[in-house]
Amino acid sequence: MRKPFAITLDPGSSLANHTGTWRTLRPEYVDRLPPCNAACPAGENIQGWLWHAECGDYEAAWRLLTEQNPLPATMGRVCYNPCESACNRGALDEAVGINSIERFLGDEAIKRGWQFEKNELNGKRVLVVGAGPTGLSAAYHLARLGHQVQVREAGPLAGGMMRFGIPKYRLPRDVLDAEIARILALGIELKLNAKVTNLLEEKKNGNFDAVFLGVGAHIGKRAYIPAGTSMRMLDAVSVLRSMEGEAPPLLGRRVVVYGGGNTALDVARTAKRLGATESIIVYRRTREKMPAHDFELEEALQEGVMVKWLSTIKQAGESSILVEKMRLDATGFPQPTGEYETLETDSVVLALGQDVDLGLLDGVPGLEVKDGSVQIGANMMTGHPGVFAGGDMVPGERTVTVAVGHGKKAARHIDAWLRATAYEKKPSGEPASFDRLNPWYYSDAPKIVRPQLDLIRRQSTFDEVVGGLGERNALFEARRCLSCGNCFECDNCYGVCPDNAVIKRGPGKRYEFNYDYCKGCGLCAAECPCGAIRMVPEAL
Amino acid sequence: MAALSKVALICVKTTAAAASRMTLVFQIRIHGRGGQGVVSAAEMLSIAAFNEGKHAQAFPSFGSERTGAPVVAYCRLDEREIRVREPIMHPDALIIQDPTLLHQVDVFAGLSPSAYILINTTRSFEELGVADFVRGFQPERLCTVPANELALKHVGRPVPSAALLGGFAALSGLVSLESVAQAIRSKFSGRLAEGNVAAAAAAFKHAQAN
Amino acid sequence: MLKQIEGSRAVAEAVALCRPEVICAYPISPQTHIVEALGEIVSSGRLAPCEFVNVESEFAAMSVAIGASAAGARAYTATASQGLLYMAEALFNASGLGLPIVMTVANRAIGAPINIWNDHTDTMSQRDCGWIQLFAENNQEALDLHVIAFRLAEELSLPVMVCMDGFILTHAYERVDVPDQAQVDAYLPPFNPRQILDPAEPVSIGAMVGPEAFMEVRYLAHAKQSQALSLIPRWAGAFRQAFGREAGGLARSYRTEEAETIVVALGSVLGTLKDTVDELRESGGRIGVLGVSCFRPWPFAAVREALAGAQRVVVVEKGMAVGVGGIVSNNVRTAISTRPIPVYDVVAGLGGRPITKASLAAVLQRAMTDDLELTTFLDLDRALVEKVLRKEREVRRSGPIAEQVLKLKG
Amino acid sequence: MTFQPVKFYQTGTFTVGNRLLPAETRSVQANMRRTNSLNSGHRACQGCGEALGARYAIDAAMHATENRLIAANATGCLEVFSTPYPETSWQIPWIHSLFGNAAAVATGIAAALKVKGRSDVRVIAQGGDGGTTDIGFACLSGMFERNDDVLYICYDNEAYMNTGVQRSSATPPAARTATTTLGNSFNQGKNLPWIAMAHGIPYVATATIAELRDLEAKVERAMHVRGARYLHIFVSCPLGWGHPADQSIRIARLAKETGLFPVFEAEHGEVTSVSKIRKKLPVTDYLKPQRRFAHLFSPEVRTDLIARIQEGADRNVRKFGLIEN
């Protein structure tokens, strides 16, 4: 073509005009910390593994999940999911059912027989005391880091409070067993009925380079209740532990549980299943103030458990207790009213909290115990070099998930300590708060409700109450994730740039900005659904 | 052949004037009303002359007149190329398609006594009240044809232009009836053409008899 | 083949022989018969493939032609008068983009007052729009010029306007020689566009050009149009060879041998002028005629050469620049600016006023004795305009007077 | 538990891309090999809605026609920012003729293609609201009436932006422009999609830059119809409307969600589908972020005028049934 001068131009020749010089603000891709991840005591990369689950690549999801937490099937049942409370989707419709997806992945892993990858041993030996969640977690992470691990468990079975504190109807034992077995399959040596009494001696004898203490709180707290000799008084931990033994505990037809925590609910519901006609929780405050999770209370109430709110036990008689009515004062603290009532009962179970047996620590130099808790530094190490601790032993919330998190954190620090370095956590991004999102792009999608066992069976058997999601529903639920603060490759930035200044790098490779042409309008950042782009002023 | 001799006659008639090309041209002015085929008449006349090997130029008076308004069209015939574009101010022949125009428009403007006059009417020049004007004109060059009636008879509608051309062929001898018929057939087709040809032939006959 | 047909029909036949692929039709007198005839030819299937587009305005007509031409189709339209002005913007665009569109303009006056009759005000008003403007003397030339116009337009990639006098030519039945298809095909090869909108080779046509290159673009447009001055005689020569008759060219002299006075004119008035000059020659006048066929580009050299022997020039033109006078005459003056001879300007035939031999003869006789104002209006009713001017002067005075009278009355 | 079909909620139907969908059902804009018909390096303002809308539409049309497309462009922002000598941003055969003749030029191109038997190559005419609803209206109407095989796309940013924000017949009531400094009057309006429908042409649709997939579907649909088609795309103008550059899409979204800009499709003059409002919002949500409406809120809140604008939105909601049920 003999193109006329100036009037007729070659296609796309404007590439010679670098409009990037117009820019005063510069877009940058960021990975913000999603609220679920931030809230997870086990430090799971929830948003990350959901990303794989959304694609239907459940194994990849499970593998990413278990980089932080080796017990997804257990977590998916017993975790009180702070992730869901923090989930930004809650501000849209309902939080993503992270817990149920986690359970799905955990169950899928068991079903498919997925195993962890083993690492080369590095020659270091670590002793883990306690085969509860924190000990198993530490053992798992240490093993994956190449350390030779031995776990010493005082009890007859591994699992700790997961086995002896959580009823079967919440955590079927085959699930627990499968997950523990998979951890042990990493080459971890487990010694059962092997209570450690003298730590330093054990350490020395076993040539251990480091120790992790993960002893659970198995000693029920007592309260002083004037009682006749004949009233059967038990503590909740013992009741729950005996459920794992040969003979179930004898609680009678009328049972009173004293306390307002989840353990109280567990016991009351267990009593119901053991055939109690009346299972009554006596709690000194109101439902709103109850530390137990509301959904568990709701399940308990469905099953026929009753609660006497604003009540304390003043005295226990032969077959009855005296209950005093309380009222909340201005600060929300219960105050006695002097009104009493009598409650017929065959037994009273105290669910007032637990303590840890710290006997094994006697004589360990430098180790400090305060208010029944072992004091640790930021690296989870006690005052005695090489001795680390976590879980119920150390100050903090006592949940399975927190314990698992402690185990992981301790393992990383132990690893670093053994290498004579310091473990530094990768800095997490700024929080991906709801106001960072552009939620218009997410359409409404109600949360999937997990199936529940029918009530009759819930009242009479220890079958699992809450069912899991099928694949289809798990996928649906996973896809409700907003991917807060982390690019999920929705192509919005690539699409909405009026200057084609976003380069799409291909599946899984995200995007990059072409600063030759980016004018810095900020549309990409404004229209990023998940807040994974920020605008920063150009350097002067 | 008859047509050529007529041209020769015209030449003789104008020998008094300078022998310029101007004197060779024969100019016809047609008056009528919008819708009567005035322009078509001039055009057909030019075609008839062209059919006989002559140069001819036909053109309307370029008005924007609508149906019923007085309309003028012109036709020049020559043996040589016609270059002049001015309107015909001194016609050698006048065709009046509608006698009612006689007293409304100066149809006779620029007319010399040697001119031909053909009027579409059933009446005589006297009856039309123009006897005084044509006194001194050559009587054999004055002719009336009942073109409307002939058209009604042969075409079914009072469209006088074709019939008048037949009359003009007879009156002037400038073009043959065959050429006129051919011209009509180039403008119209089918029954309309044949009707008009028949009307022209009838008018030709009427004019010859006149 | 010789035919006795209307000028419009002759043009339509010529255009059809040129095988246009897109024809845009919008009615305006006195051009209408041309597109009517073309429409008839297209619907008869005689001209195929061809898209006959009934557009909604002249602006659209030219715009459709622009699109069609840019997409590689041979495009044609016709217009007149107000229609030409209505497409003025598109005219500049078509030439600016270098699109070889051919358009017939049936020359007609421009209102107000509205006037449907012939003069050259329409095309004269668009003389600077970048189109080549060719003027036809008679219907044969009108016909022939269209064949040449397509050849020229496509050779140069420039649009060409064929100007023919409205009514006088468009509505006149005359003898024309209509060439046959083979002859035209031999003269006019298929359109091979210089630039084309084609998905196989995309380009952007019609860029915005700023001060940094606009001068150069305009210069190149000027240079390109000037090229036509050498191409037009070449294509006129080729036409003569192929068709055996004269048509087009830049300018043609008639009886200018030893002429002291040469009359310059465009279009159909040349015929009347030639007859008039014949008469003047017979009475001994040394006078000739120069017919300008190509008004744009202005053939400086050809005009200068043709007028070389003249002692005076009379320009008879059907248009004028209000407040200036003749338009063609000014062009003539620039062509012979080195020779101080009088150039008389005779503005004639505005709005369809008949130009008669008698009037022409009279004015030319006065010119031959240099007894003529530099600008004359042929057959102007001088008494009438004097009267109107006088009245207007009175009216103009009467304003303040009337006010004063009112003031006096209190 | 009731069966709940898997939907792609996370990536929804609202984002540009969706890695979870089969490749063939993803948007054109999500494609790594999209044509970028309007390429980088153009000189549109930061955040230009028209540049975005044009690339969306033309890329989609290129996709639908397998890259056999020719476009005629009216004078205006789009033309000026895309083709200043010596560079053009267009990757397609493209012509700019005049302000008011894009539709006619396209008609000419379509006629040429028809003559040449290139029915595979399709023609688009495009322009802003000025070039469409005002100066180009006659040519557009002519093209419609003849049912020429052209898709005309109007990028409506509701004023003459190229010349510095003057009122057009598409400027909404109360909007301030350089020639309506007190706010545009409440006229009877010139609803071009409706006028296009009155021509009975095969396809008329409206869209916004906020709903890419809807826009692409309409272009795709339009390219599979022969005859005259009209697509009216609402494109925001940060400069002329006075909103931050990064709000262009949000403003367009609000125009739809308030009911001020109904998004629908029509065939042969009848409305055939309507894009429902997801969450009806008051017009003030749309008006407030734009400086051209600032006088409605300060120095005093012009509840009277806002109410009239709201009435207009509500009328649209009723007329088109913009709300589900």
Domain ranges of chain D: 33-320
- Averaged pLDDT, C146-164: 97
ipTM of predicted complex: 0.88
- Cβ neighbours of C196 in A, within 8 Å: 1
- Residue C401 binned pLDDT confidence (cut-offs 50, 70, 90): low
- Predicted pLDDT of residue D4: 44
Q: Cα dihedral angle (D174, D179, D182, D188), rounded to 10 degrees?
A: -30
Q: What percent of chain C has pLDDT over 70?
A: 96
Per-residue pLDDT of A465-492, as tens digits, reads 888 888 888 988 999 999 999 999 999 9
- On the question of pLDDT at C95 being above 80, the answer is yes
Per-residue pLDDT of A77-135, as tens digits, reads 999 999 999 999 999 889 999 999 999 999 999 999 999 998 889 999 999 999 999 99
CA-based nearest distance D243→chain A, Å: 12
Rounded to the nearest integer, the mean pLDDT of chain A is 93
Instruction: Mark whether A20 and A62 lie in a shared domain.
Output: no
In a domain, A229, yes or no: yes
- Cβ neighbours of A19 in D, within 8 Å: 40-43
Nearest to D13 among A54, A443, A526 (CB): A443
CATH fold of C2-243 reads Rossmann fold (3.40.50)
Spatial neighbors of D208 by CB under 8 A, at least 6 apart, are D214, D215, D233, D234, D235, D252, D253, D255, D256, D261, D263
Hey, are the CB atoms on D92 and C202 less than 8 Å from each other? yes
- D41/D87 Cα distance (integer angstroms): 9
- Cβ neighbours of C209 in D, within 8 Å: 84-85
| Secondary structure in 3-state letters for C319-331 | CCECCCECCHHHH
Domain ranges of chain C: 2-243, 251-377
Question: Which of D40, D50, D257 should we substitute to test contact with A (largest number of A Cβ atoms within 10 Å)?
Answer: D40
| Surface-to-core class of residue D175, CB atoms within 10 Å of its CB (0-12 exposed, 13-18 middle, 19+ buried) | buried
Neighbours of chain D (3+ CB pairs under 8 A): A, C
Hey, are the CB atoms on A19 and D36 less than 8 Å from each other? no
Residue type, C327: I
Half-sphere exposure at residue A206, Cβ-oriented, CA atoms within 13 angstroms: 24
Nearest to C204 among A1, A5, A9 (CB): A9
Instruction: Mark whether A231 and A344 lie in a shared domain.
Output: yes
> What is the CATH classification number for the domain harbouring A248?
3.50.50.60
Question: Domain D33-320 sits in which CATH superfamily?
Answer: Thiamin diphosphate (ThDP)-binding fold, Pyr/PP domains (3.40.50.970)
- Predicted pLDDT of residue D123: 98
- Cβ neighbours of C98 in A, within 8 Å: 4, 7
Count, residues in chain B: 210
Count, residues in chain A: 540
- Predicted pLDDT of residue A459: 85
Contact status, residue A148 vs residue A121, Cβ threshold 8 Å: yes
- Predicted pLDDT of residue B15: 34
| D27: its two tokens | 């948007």
Looking at chain A from residue 486 to 525, which residues have their Cβ under 8 Å from any Cβ of chain D?
488-492, 494-501, 504, 506-507, 514, 516-517, 519-523, 525
Neighbours of chain B (3+ CB pairs under 8 A): C
If you search the block for the tokens 């040519």, which residue do you land on? D139
If you search the block for the tokens 């006056």, which residue do you land on? C109
Nearest to B57 among C30, C174, C282 (CB): C174
Handedness of CA A182, A183, A187, A191 (dihedral sign): negative
Helices A262-273 and A294-302: angle between axes, nearest 10 degrees: 20
- On the question of pLDDT at B8 being above 90, the answer is no
Instruction: Mark whether A320 and A281 lie in a shared domain.
Output: yes
Handedness of CA D274, D278, D279, D285 (dihedral sign): negative
Residue type, B190: G
Q: Tens-of-pLDDT digits for all 540 residues of chain A?
A: 678 999 999 999 999 999 999 999 999 999 999 999 999 999 999 999 999 999 899 999 999 999 999 999 999 999 999 999 999 999 988 999 999 999 999 999 999 999 999 888 999 999 999 999 999 999 999 999 999 999 999 999 999 999 999 999 999 999 999 999 999 999 999 999 999 989 999 999 999 999 999 999 988 888 788 776 677 888 998 899 888 887 888 888 999 999 999 999 999 999 999 989 999 999 999 999 999 999 899 999 999 999 999 999 998 888 889 999 999 999 889 999 999 999 999 999 999 988 898 888 888 999 999 988 999 999 999 999 999 999 999 999 899 999 999 999 999 999 999 999 999 988 888 999 999 999 998 877 778 888 888 888 888 888 898 888 888 889 889 999 999 999 999 999 999 999 999 999 998 899 999 999 999 999 999 999 999 999 999 987
Q: Could you tell me if C98 lies within 8 Å of chain A, comparing CB atoms?
A: yes
In a domain, A429, yes or no: no
Angle at C303 between CA C297 and CA C306, to 5 degrees: 150
- Predicted pLDDT of residue B6: 39
- Averaged pLDDT, C119-130: 97
- φ, ψ of residue A200 in degrees (nearest 5): -65, -35
Instruction: Mark whether A136 and A107 lie in a shared domain.
Output: no
- Predicted pLDDT of residue B10: 38
Looking at chain D from residue 45 to 64, which residues have their Cβ under 8 Å from any Cβ of chain A?
46-49, 51-52, 55
Which residues of chain D carry a pLDDT beneath 70?
A: 1-13
- D126/D60 Cα distance (integer angstroms): 14
Rounded to the nearest integer, the mean pLDDT of chain C is 95
In a domain, A66, yes or no: yes
Per-residue pLDDT of C201-245, as tens digits, reads 999 999 999 999 999 999 999 999 999 999 999 999 999 999 999
Looking at chain D from residue 71 to 110, which residues have their Cβ under 8 Å from any Cβ of chain C?
72-73, 79-80, 82-86, 88, 90-98, 100-101, 104-110
Kindly tell me whether chain B and chain D come into contact, counting contact as 3+ Cβ pairs under 8 Å: no
Q: Which of the pair, A232 or C372, is modelled with greater confidence?
A: C372
In angstroms, how far is CA C274 from the centroid of its own chain?
A: 19
Domains in chain B (CATH in brackets) are 2-209 (3.40.920.10)
Angle at B80 between CA B76 and CA B82, to 5 degrees: 45
Contact status, residue A111 vs residue A59, Cβ threshold 8 Å: no
Count, residues in chain D: 325
| D274: its two tokens | 């309507």
In a domain, A349, yes or no: yes
Per-residue pLDDT of A420-467, as tens digits, reads 999 998 888 899 999 999 999 887 777 888 888 888 888 888 889 888
- Predicted pLDDT of residue B23: 52
CA-based nearest distance B146→chain C, Å: 27
Q: How many folded domains does chain A comprise?
A: 4
- Averaged pLDDT, B179-185: 97
Hey, are the CB atoms on D108 and C197 less than 8 Å from each other? no
Q: Does domain C251-377 have CATH number 3.40.50.1370?
A: no
Residue type, D52: L
- Residue B65 binned pLDDT confidence (cut-offs 50, 70, 90): low
Instruction: Mark whether A414 and A306 lie in a shared domain.
Output: no
- A466/A103 Cα distance (integer angstroms): 11
**CA distances for A124 relative to A190, A405, B22, B210, D281, angstroms:** 17, 22, 130, 144, 64
Q: Could you tell me if D190 lies within 8 Å of chain A, comparing CB atoms?
A: no
In a domain, A264, yes or no: yes
Instruction: Write the DSSP symbol of residue A444.
Output: P
| Secondary structure in 3-state letters for chain D | CCCCCCCCCCCCCCCCCCCCCCHHHCCCCCCCCCCCCECCCCCCCCCCHHHHHHHHHHHHHHHHCCCCEEEEECCCHHHHHHCECCCCCECCCEEECCCCCHHHHHHHHHHHHHHCCCCCCEEEEEEEHHHHHHCCHHHHHHHHHHCCCEEEEEEECCCECCCCCECCCCCCCCCCECCECCCCCCCCCCCHHHHHHHCCCCEEEEEECCCHHHHHHHHHHHHCCCCCEEEEEECCCHHHHCCCHHHHHHHHHHHHHCCCCCCEEEECCEEEEECCCCCCCCHHHHHCCCHHHHHHCCCCCCHHHHHHHHHHHHHHHHHHCCCCC
| B23: its two tokens | 């004197």
Kindly tell me whether chain A and chain B come into contact, counting contact as 3+ Cβ pairs under 8 Å: no
- Residue C386 binned pLDDT confidence (cut-offs 50, 70, 90): very high
Nearest to D30 among A494, A501, A519 (CB): A494
Instruction: Mark whether A79 and A106 lie in a shared domain.
Output: yes
Q: What percent of chain C has pLDDT over 90?
A: 94
**CA distances for A420 relative to A48, A209, A212, A264, A386, angstroms:** 31, 12, 17, 45, 11
Hey, are the CB atoms on A479 and D6 less than 8 Å from each other? yes
Contact status, residue A214 vs residue A138, Cβ threshold 8 Å: yes
- Residue C406 binned pLDDT confidence (cut-offs 50, 70, 90): low
Q: Which of the pair, B77 or B3, is modelled with greater confidence?
A: B77
Instruction: Mark whether A398 and A455 lie in a shared domain.
Output: no
Domain of A457 in residue numbering reads as 35-114+443-478
Cβ count near C368 (within 10 Å): 18
CA-based nearest distance A33→chain D, Å: 18
